[in-house]
Amino acid sequence: MGAIEIKGLTKYYKKHAAIKEVDLSVEAGEIYGFIGPNGAGKSTTIKALLNFIYPDKGEAKILGLDSIKEAKKIREKVGYVSSDVRFYPNMTTMDTLKYVAEFHGLKESKKRIDYFVELFEIDDKKKVSELSLGNKKKIAIAAGLLSKPELLILDEPTNGLDPLMQHRLFEELERYNKEGMTIFLSSHDLNEIQQHAHRAAFIREGEIITVQDISKEKSLGKVITLVGDEIPLSLFEKMGAAILKHEGNETRLFYEGDLHEVLPLLADQSIQDFTITTPELEDQFMALYEGGELK
């Protein structure tokens, strides 16, 4: 059974498609990345998936349950951390976490609450209204993990967290994933996705443009760096290469085709030097967003 199944999900705002015909399939036990710049449609997809907003078209299932008809059952099985954290302002941190524990009917919840309070260095006596964004985010993460959900959906979870808290968060996520938890990680931080996700979907202007297997063994193409004046870049582009960056006499290209086909072009006398390397996920991301420009 898939953890998430989305087919043709579409949402319009004033005749503008925030997301259009989104298809996603997340297997149980995956850490699945959802990549795109701000405004690409990541949060809209998640909100439609969780029945916070109604899609204009399409359908979605979580853990085999219909996201609209069986939303109550889904909330019992799924943890969610929003990009914009909002809690009752007059409740303390401890009150908030106890409320979450009661909602899920957790027995002996104090031990788990104390664990997260210590792990994320949470001030459990302060009111939510007194907290910074980073401290509110820590409460949200603790609340999302408290019930050990089958599926945890994270929307920009590290926004506001310092590097130490980010490290602790991903240590926890990796541990829970090894125990079987499925994690859906929406982020614009490419490093987070490359370090932790098994697969990732790239979304641009509300549409999924590719889904990639993120693994150490799988090459995502090659980055070719050229040094020289008046290099015939149009010939490389005709071969399917995308220009990542052009500065001075140095050009970085992203190429997914057969290297044997492009090697003859490297003999051009205008090329003073070149290197061919395995790309970071960022290189491919920039190539997908039309030659290095996020749009």
pLDDT of 84: 85
Residue 167's pLDDT band, with cuts at 50, 70 and 90, is very high
Give the mean pLDDT of 254-267. Answer: 88
Residue 288 confidence (pLDDT) above 70: no
* Sign (positive or negative) of CA dihedral 211, 151, 28, 19: negative
As given in the structure block, the two tokens for residue 63 are 């853990």
Share of the chain above pLDDT 90, in %: 63
pLDDT digits (tens, 9 = 90+) for 177-198: 999 999 999 988 777 888 899 9
Q: How much is the pLDDT for 292?
A: 45
**pLDDT value of position 293:** 42
Mean pLDDT score of the chain: 89
Residues 6+ apart with CB under 8 A from 178: none
Long-range contacts (CB closer than 8 Å, 24 or more residues apart) made by 212-221: 212/281, 212/284, 214/33, 214/281, 219/278, 220/256, 220/278, 220/279, 220/281, 220/283, 220/284, 221/254, 221/255, 221/256, 221/279, 221/283, 221/284, 221/287
- Give the CA distances from residue 231 to residues 226, 228, 244, 272, in Å, rounded to whole numbers and listed in that order: 8, 6, 15, 9
Instruction: Please state the CATH superfamily assignment of the domain spanning residues 2-213 in this structure.
Output: P-loop containing nucleotide triphosphate hydrolases (3.40.50.300)
pLDDT of residue 96: 93
Q: Flag whether pLDDT at 174 surpasses 90.
A: yes
Domain 222-288 CATH (choose: 3.30.70, 1.10.3470, 4.10.280, 3.40.50): 3.30.70
Q: Report how far residue 262's alpha carbon sits from residue 271's, in angstroms, rounded to the nearest whole number.
A: 13
Does position 290 have pLDDT exceeding 90, yes or no? no
Nearest by Cα to 158 from 179, 131, 133: 133
Stated pTM of the model: 0.78
User: Per-residue DSSP letters for 82-132?
Assistant: -SS----TTSBHHHHHHHHHHHTT-TTHHHHHHHHHHHTT--TTSBGGG--
In this chain, the answer to whether the domains covering 2-213 and 222-288 adopt an identical fold is: no
Q: Can you tell me the mean pLDDT for 238-266?
A: 89
**For the residues 15-21, what does the mean pLDDT come to?**
92
In this predicted model, what pLDDT tens digit does every residue of 73-122 receive, in sequence order?
999 899 999 988 888 889 999 999 999 999 888 888 999 999 999 999 99
3-state SS assignment for residue 1: coil
> Considering only CA atoms, which of 129, 117, 50, 146 is closest in space to residue 87?
129
List, for residues 34-80, the tens digit of each pLDDT value: 988 888 899 999 999 999 999 999 999 999 999 999 999 999 899 99
Domain boundaries defined on the chain: 2-213, 222-288
Give the pLDDT score at 287. 67
Q: Is 262 in a helix, a strand, or coil?
A: helix
Of 281, 274, 32, nearest to 153 (Cα)? 32
217, pLDDT greater than 50: no
